[in-house]
Amino acid sequence: MARHLITSALPYINGIKHLGNLVGSQLPADLYARYLRGRGHEVMFICATDEHGTPAELAAAKTGEPVAEYCRRMHAEQSKLAEGFGLSFDHYGRSSSPQNHRLTQHFAGRLDAAGLIREVSEKQVYSNEDGRFLPDRYIEGTCPNCGYEKARGDQCENCTKQLDPTDLIDPRSAISGSTDLEVRETKHLFLRQSAMRDRIAEWIDSKTDWPVLTTSIAKKWLFDGDGLQDRGITRDLDWGVPVQKGDQAWPGMEGKVFYVWFDAPIEYIGATAEWAEAQGGDWERWWRTDKGAEDVTYTQFMGKDNVPFHTLGFPVTIMGSGEPWKLVDYIKSFNYLTYDGGQFSTSQGRGVFMDDALDLLPADYWRWWLLSHAPESGDSEFTWENFQQSVNKDLADVLGNFVSRVTKFCRSKFGEAVPDGAAWGDAERELASAITRRVRAYEAQMDRMEIRKAAAELRAIWVLGNEYLQAAAPWATFKEDPDRAAMQVRLGLNLIGLYAVLSAPFLPFTAARLREAMNSSAAWPDDVDAALTALPPGHAFTVPDNLFAKITDDQRDEWSERFSGVRG
């Protein structure tokens, strides 16, 4: 049994997340965690809300709540939605936790002692109308790289280029919209990333199995232009981790907080510490290589816009501390999911959001479409026509139809117990061999985190059962050879039990229904032949209700119109 640490990029606290956010990190991370648990491995799956910085302050200001109360409320809402989508976190933490505060200040102290932090006097945008400095996301303007007119002061979400607020063209306050801005001098701490460039480059070069998307973005920031630059890690904000060296004050940094992109990745560790405090576990065995983490495989999931921070900034923090912390082994990054010819956007309220989705249909409908269309090799586009087709053909016509036909036919002819009947023939042995090959291919794709290919293999396994059922035609066989028909149905019922196990990473709620209906607690099918005879004659089952309702043209058109504009 191997040990796997899995983290998903932290969703910002500022509102409900859309489907693009979901498929860009949390959902594929959950898929992988469920798969590994199903194979018998020990898994620690960690995520948290990213609660510091500008997004939280701006969102709280809009609702009129104190920012701490806003974050508490939104963490509860995001937790409920995560549960609704079946995200099986071992812990869903908060970056504002005491554990993360302590760890962030600890790392800052270690980095300073190592000579990797320097104090810089810099010019920063000040809003006369707002009466305050405007750090990063408090400033919007036109990106100097791609011309996107709604770029933020830390990064352009259109081209992913990291920016400084003073880089923006025609800047304006994100608080008031005022253009009455001026540049004033202030002091901040900078992480000396440039001093770690060679070490980071050597580490990234050693990761020959990483996705091209991940390494290409990392190397772009390492080598393009002037190469890896030092990065400010403090901000003039009220909400965040106070700037300290461990438990000591940091002279000259009074009233400042650490930059959200410095403390947010540290929350992966902090959230595991939160889990340990709540559950009584040992978090260090997952994170400290001197405490047992040397045998842990650590995988991160994230959208491509998060890659620079996880391949550069966070590793600089970990390595630069000089302590034996666990570094990531594999980074699975994703392109963007677009929506009907445009972009999903939390800030602009475009697209289908997680709460909307669960109001429309059960989670497994969305999980299947999103994962089977995951934006791995390039951007993917959500359209209602494609969603309807995938739900109707894959879920209703293939998986749902097979389960319905087998269980209802058995009930009508043999009752609600697995029938006995004849022994397998050539057709059954050929089916078992074909399924074995597909299961091994499915495992290989899941091991490599090739999500779309894994979904295609799973669907192919469902199709094999349908093709067998259609060719065997037990409803016709029953008239001439009831024993053979009983055997065909027995195999069909065992296929349902197998489908429940294999489908659980993609469709956990449906898999649970199938397990309950088949009265089965089967483990992962290392031996497919054994799995296809696991339910013996006389084993009781129940006929499940219809697994998937088809999406009608009227529903498709209604939803397309309903979600065509800005979220209300």
Report the C-alpha gap between 323 and 204 in whole angstroms: 19
The yes-or-no verdict on residue 567 having pLDDT over 60 is no
pLDDT digits (tens, 9 = 90+) for 19-35: 999 999 999 999 999 99
Interacting residues of 194 by C-beta distance below 8 A, sequence separation 6+: 227, 228, 229, 230
Do 137 and 144 form a contact (C-beta atoms < 8 A)?
no
- Mean pLDDT check: name the lowest of 50-54, 100-104, 319-323: 50-54
Q: What is the pLDDT averaged over residues 299-309?
A: 96
Does residue 103 contact residue 246 with C-beta atoms inside 8 Å?
no
* Cα–Cα dist 305/268, whole Å: 18
Residue 236 buriedness (CB in 10 A; 0-12 / 13-18 / 19+): middle
According to DSSP, the residues that pair with 144 across neighbouring strands are none
Decide if pLDDT at 568 tops 50.
Answer: no
- Please indicate if the annotation marks 143 as binding a ligand: yes
169-178, 368-377, 480-489, 542-551: the lowest-pLDDT one? 169-178
What are the chain's domains?
Answer: 383-531 (1.10.730.10)
pLDDT at 491 over 80: yes
Q: Which residues are CB-contacts of 275 (< 8 A; sequence separation ≥ 6)? A: 44, 46, 90, 91, 93, 281, 283
Mean pLDDT confidence for 48-57? 91
pLDDT in tens, 262-297: 999 999 999 999 999 999 999 999 999 999 999 999
User: Which residue type is seen at 568?
Assistant: G
**SS3 call for 50:** strand
Strands 231-232 and 132-133: unpaired
For 532-557, how does the pLDDT look when each residue is reduced to its tens digit (9 = 90+)? 999 999 999 999 999 999 999 999 99
146 annotated ligand binder = yes
* 346 annotated binding-site participant: yes
Do the beta carbons of residue 107 and residue 321 sit within 8 Å? yes
What pLDDT does 346 receive? 62
- Give the global pTM: 0.92
The three-class DSSP label of residue 265 is helix
Check pLDDT > 70 for residue 137. Answer: yes
Q: Which of 214-228, 365-379, 448-462, 491-505 has the lowest average pLDDT? A: 214-228
Segment 446-454 mean pLDDT: 98
Instruction: Give the sign of the dihedral formed by CA 397, CA 400, CA 406, CA 411.
Output: negative
Given phi > 0 = left and psi -120 to 50 = alpha, else beta, which region is 351? left
Task: Find out whether 213 and 333 touch, Cβ atoms under 8 Å.
Answer: yes
Torsion of the alpha carbons at 369, 373, 376 and 380, rounded to the nearest 10 = -110
What is the helix (H) or strand (E) element at residue 45, kind and residue range? strand 42-49
Computed over every residue of the chain, the mean pLDDT equals 95
Q: What is the mean pLDDT of residues 247-251?
A: 94
pLDDT of residue 53: 87
Among 76-90, 140-154, 403-417, the range scoring the smallest mean pLDDT is: 140-154
% the chain with pLDDT above 70: 98
From 148-152, 355-359, 494-498, the region with the lowest mean pLDDT: 148-152
Instruction: Give the residue with greater pLDDT, 134 vs 309.
Output: 309
Count of CB atoms situated within 10 Å of the CB of 251: 8
